[in-house]
Amino acid sequence: MSNDREVDHDTIPPANKGLLAAAGVLLAIPIIALMWVSSYAKVEPKLGGWPFFIWYQFLWVFLCSAMTYTAYRLVLKARPHRPMHREADRDGDEVAR
């Protein structure tokens, strides 16, 4: 029922591009770090008997979680929600809901 839609909703809601880019970088870092297998496929330095290969990847569980959470805060700030309305209030029950 596209003719009922408010035209302006067929656009991408405005956003702070810089913050979005920063979030994108934060999300990309763990992916790149873990895809770069030769950087961590080694035994030394060990940590409490654990080979580097093992503890380094465990470390990324926490780093990635922190980066994802930061990215979450950033995207919330970057693009505030643009509410959509029942078009033209034709059924008139908008207020009742």
Binding residues vs other proteins (CB under 8 A): 1-2, 4-5, 8-13, 27-28, 30-31, 34-38, 41-43, 48-51, 53-54, 57-58, 60-62, 64-69, 71-72, 75-76, 79, 81-87, 91, 97
Nearer to other proteins, 62 or 92 (CB): 62
- Please tell me whether residue 11 adopts helix, strand or coil conformation: coil
Nearer to other proteins, 18 or 31 (CB): 31
Q: How far apart are CA 11 and CA 30, in angstroms?
A: 31
Nearer to other proteins, 18 or 68 (CB): 68
Q: How far apart are CA 38 and CA 95, in angstroms?
A: 60
Nearer to other proteins, 18 or 24 (CB): 24
Q: How far apart are CA 88 and CA 5, in angstroms?
A: 9
Judge contact between 79 and 14, C-beta under 8 A.
yes
Smallest distance from the beta carbon of 59 to other proteins, in angstroms? 10
Q: How far apart are CA 25 and CA 67, in angstroms?
A: 9
